[in-house]
Structure 1
């Protein structure tokens, strides 16, 4: 039986004339109390990337009413910064998902009702271009309507601040405070009224061209690209998302003339009808691209997710087989290419710094030591890389070289403050061309060279979905158990420290000590050979993720250690998964 609070919420949505007939009919048709509970037991919350959830009616679902309430709360935060902030306005973009265009327009119209200007793209665009647009237009903030790589049933609302990075925690907290005070009945201006008043301005090519110029500036060997780019065969899939126009454009502009775009996945499709999930990390998303790659005998395969901030990569190796590179491996190869090239040409700034998320591979830590470049680790979420870029600019100290996170996110340059798969596609193509023409190597060859030089690191992520209220409670119990775990080794590997990031403490050499790191909901441990395990509940999905980085003397050794370590690790919590 539903408890009173949940039932009251449900009945409000069923009876209030504010909610349209389709919404009320959808809710009236529900017969499963578990389903009703899941839709109304809580409000969707901000996570590392904003707000994301399944589409549908209810307080724990993405729908036009939540968009209105969230935007009204966001508008009040902007208004607190004064009239100038309202006039500077908000940049808004959207991808190919269900209701993305409607949600984006509704966002603009709610902002207009609060006297806040919007710059709304006239058709779908990428997340990195939205990040660029905020600073280019001098906006106070930005909104990207997307659920990134999630299944078709999801959509989301990413919020950005004036520096072009995703909203920092302090500002996110202010929005949530405003939401707690905001009802569901929210004023909305009509589109005609918003356009006539000047509070809604449509944008497109006037932003596209400057953005693409900034992407172009990040390439290291444009002359080589123009002269030899035609020798590299590339198969590309946008996975029905926003990437096609701009990935094709940047590759063509740089002489990569042999680019074949998977036709079945070239057009935007909110159903993502050719894949189970539009995620380049998922092997199923590559089936069509691999078929065409075999036919074309392509050197390189590239895939972008729906909002084109994540880039997946596969390469043909010396044996003619296609090797799927993980986000960690692409990050290592690009770091080697970017920093190695700059160092070889004496272009490496003295105060250069590399950034990566704390759950990304330890291989790049060894590489940074080899290059003599500082590597700073940040919490999960590319906004924390953007935050560090801002701090360096404000301090006038530190030159950002390259940043990445294991979940297929890469950035070079400061034109954007979020990961950019359009730039990533161009850089990976350029790196593949460079190593092919100057060293006769494939990208898998380069990766093997890095392993031989710095040690073999095998990285793997395990994500467990635990839906609903019960799932949320189980995730909490898992984190409690892992925090209490005191085993001295796993899989035969000695543990040299345990990290309790939520407490800001680390257990090392038998004593607890403070950590110089932001407090985030992660529990970790570090092995004496440099590997690690991290456990992290997702802030935007009903999931808990486990990150394994295992060091070995070779691939087989690392694989064997990984399996033993995973078995030992999960033995303490498998009853909750």
Structure 2
């Protein structure tokens, strides 16, 4: 794309609103900024759209969102009138322009004769997935940028099962986008006309109550088994989780829930933190102060759209952070033990994780006779399996999770669900508190039983066109110059997900793997340690996932540091 030519086209178009025109005129002498805004179209894929807010083809704005929504409407319509009549559910989070983009999307859908069910205020992402299933919709839209910084917004698309779209649908939407001129889109009916025609319906407490009922049904233990006096500090990080999380905890009888006041109410500027990602322990700064005041047992933070959740535990007076793998294995162990105690482990049970999630959960699941299945990253891939099992009955979904603090313990939502996860974590903390244990005590018991697993995820941020190109070079060249040996361990197996093949270096045999193609590569060493590299699908970064296992935690952590240094040293040589 000729970025300067596209910049001038935008400036010269009479349909460009005045605010956007002034914004673009203000950068007329900043060639680098013009290039960043116009060197490409903001990419649409299975994650929908995500980018910085602002005018330009590589930005989130009303023009880009409107074109994507028109394209989605055409794809829905292509499946016939009966499918079209199912309608679409639309939600949004606390971010800047989220409410504006969601209403615009609803009216565009209504203009195509597609009934839009629009939430009357912000809601958690899992409730959007639930609403798609509740109303039997054809599709869903959620306006959110999840945990990205405040400068970002995004656009997620769901299909009729309530899970995010995969390549088959995303490719059709993209094909329609590519046919459209961003300044030459069909006219849109008014809100009044849409309401009068029954093509716009505002969703209120009916869906909330149905969702809360399902969340509460996930409780694993009787009240008599759980210490409800457990003290919980909770922060929604100024996002969409506040009402839903507090409601289900209260209804389950957890009365000692202390909310961080500075982060309680929705605010898309995220005034207390630069990066509203609960994976980053900096997001817990205010929570930790409150935890010390209240003598709390656990601290829970949900991200701005409340699909992801992080946990810290007070153990012997110290606040200890759990990573996504650790929280996942605690939930797996709690769920499976609870089901086993009640003789309720189902027939053909399965847990699903991503290819970059650790192996400790697999060991625990195996001890209960539960299969662990690995899929590509993203809950669209995790939830694709229960979508299939609904039809085939082949397996029974028990739990799904990712190392990136995403968990789903139920089948009524087909995405990450921080609301359900918060309920189970509170219950789990209360259950073990009644036994005189913290979650750290339980985690240490699991390490003793299954081995000492350590993990780390490193993100190398490389922004702009040059950054994008360097990430591509890194992914290409690491396949040839990877470290053959780290410490005393040698590479024994390479799984190249782009080539869809696995090579055993000891026997020099290569076999095809039954998994969708993606740009990721995994290196397994003969001591059982491994790492995977892949570019992020939503942010300008390359991600390195490292996993180790040893006989002691110190040995496991030492291996982690050694792999990190060795791999990054090689990676940084790729300019």
> TM-score category by the smaller chain?
over 0.9
Determine the structure 2 residue equivalent to 1:559: 557
Could you report, residue by residue, the CA deviation over 1:185-215 in whole angstroms, capped at 9, with x for unpaired residues? 2222221121112111101101100011111
CA contact (8 A) 1:410 1:424 kept: yes
Q: How does 1:24-63 map to 2 (within 5 A)?
A: 24-30=21-27, 31-63=29-61
Q: CA 1:494–1:12 in structure 2 vs 1: closer, same or farther (change >3 Å)?
A: same
Structure 1 CA distance for aligned equivalents of residues 536 and 487 of structure 2: 26
Structure 1 CA distance for aligned equivalents of residues 466 and 138 of structure 2: 39
Residue 301 (structure 1) shift: 0.4
Determine the structure 2 residue equivalent to 1:304: 302
Could you report, residue by residue, the CA deviation over 1:123-162 in whole angstroms, capped at 9, with x for unpaired residues? 0001000000001001000000000001000000000000
Residue 552 (structure 1) shift: 1.9
TM-score of the pair, normalised by structure 2:
0.97
Structure 2 CA distance for aligned equivalents of residues 312 and 282 of structure 1: 9
Determine the structure 1 residue equivalent to 2:135: 137
CA contact (8 A) 2:237 2:302 kept: yes
Q: How does 1:101-500 map to 2 (within 5 A)?
A: 101-184=99-182, 185-186=184-185, 187-224=187-224, 228-229=227-228, 231-317=229-315, 319-437=316-434, 439-485=435-481, 487-500=483-496
Q: Which moved more, 1:523-532 or 1:351-360?
A: 523-532
CA contact (8 A) 2:227 2:431 kept: no
Residue 391 (structure 1) shift: 1.0
Q: CA 1:498–1:190 in structure 2 vs 1: closer, same or farther (change >3 Å)?
A: same
Structure 1 CA distance for aligned equivalents of residues 35 and 487 of structure 2: 41
Residue 350 (structure 1) shift: 2.5
Q: Which moved more, 1:174-183 or 1:345-354?
A: 345-354
Q: Secondary structure at the match of 1:316?
A: strand
TM-score of the pair, normalised by structure 1:
0.97
CA contact (8 A) 1:222 1:254 kept: no
Residue 446 (structure 1) shift: 0.8
Structure 2 CA distance for aligned equivalents of residues 204 and 278 of structure 1: 27
Structure 2 CA distance for aligned equivalents of residues 50 and 388 of structure 1: 20
Structure 2 CA distance for aligned equivalents of residues 233 and 191 of structure 1: 45
Determine the structure 2 residue equivalent to 1:512: 510
Residue 576 (structure 1) shift: 4.2
CA contact (8 A) 2:221 2:338 kept: no
Q: Which moved more, 1:490-499 or 1:79-88?
A: 490-499
The counterpart of 1:23, out of the listed 8, 20, 36, is 20
Structure 1 CA distance for aligned equivalents of residues 574 and 128 of structure 2: 39
Q: Which moved more, 1:133-142 or 1:179-188?
A: 179-188
Residue 47 (structure 1) shift: 4.1
Residue 490 (structure 1) shift: 2.1
Residue 527 (structure 1) shift: 2.4
Q: CA 1:380–1:123 in structure 2 vs 1: closer, same or farther (change >3 Å)?
A: same
- Alignment coverage as a number of residue pairs: 570
CA contact (8 A) 1:362 1:530 kept: no
CA contact (8 A) 1:459 1:550 kept: yes
Residue 58 (structure 1) shift: 0.3
Residue 111 (structure 1) shift: 1.1
Q: Secondary structure at the match of 1:277?
A: coil
CA contact (8 A) 1:276 1:284 kept: no
Q: Secondary structure at the match of 2:161?
A: coil
Q: Give yes or no for the alignment of 1:87 onto 2:88.
A: no
CA contact (8 A) 2:477 2:574 kept: no
Could you report, residue by residue, the CA deviation over 1:167-193 in whole angstroms, capped at 9, with x for unpaired residues? 011100111111110111222222112
Could you report, residue by residue, the CA deviation over 1:497-518 in whole angstroms, capped at 9, with x for unpaired residues? 0111011011113222211222
CA contact (8 A) 1:93 1:145 kept: yes
Structure 1 CA distance for aligned equivalents of residues 491 and 549 of structure 2: 13
Structure 2 CA distance for aligned equivalents of residues 344 and 159 of structure 1: 39
Q: CA 1:476–1:384 in structure 2 vs 1: closer, same or farther (change >3 Å)?
A: same
Could you report, residue by residue, the CA deviation over 1:433-489 in whole angstroms, capped at 9, with x for unpaired residues? 11121x321101111111111111111100111111111110000001111135432
Q: CA 1:570–1:479 in structure 2 vs 1: closer, same or farther (change >3 Å)?
A: same
Structure 2 CA distance for aligned equivalents of residues 491 and 22 of structure 1: 58
Residue 425 (structure 1) shift: 0.5
Structure 1 CA distance for aligned equivalents of residues 371 and 265 of structure 2: 42
Q: Which runs of 4+ in 1 moved over 6 A?
A: none
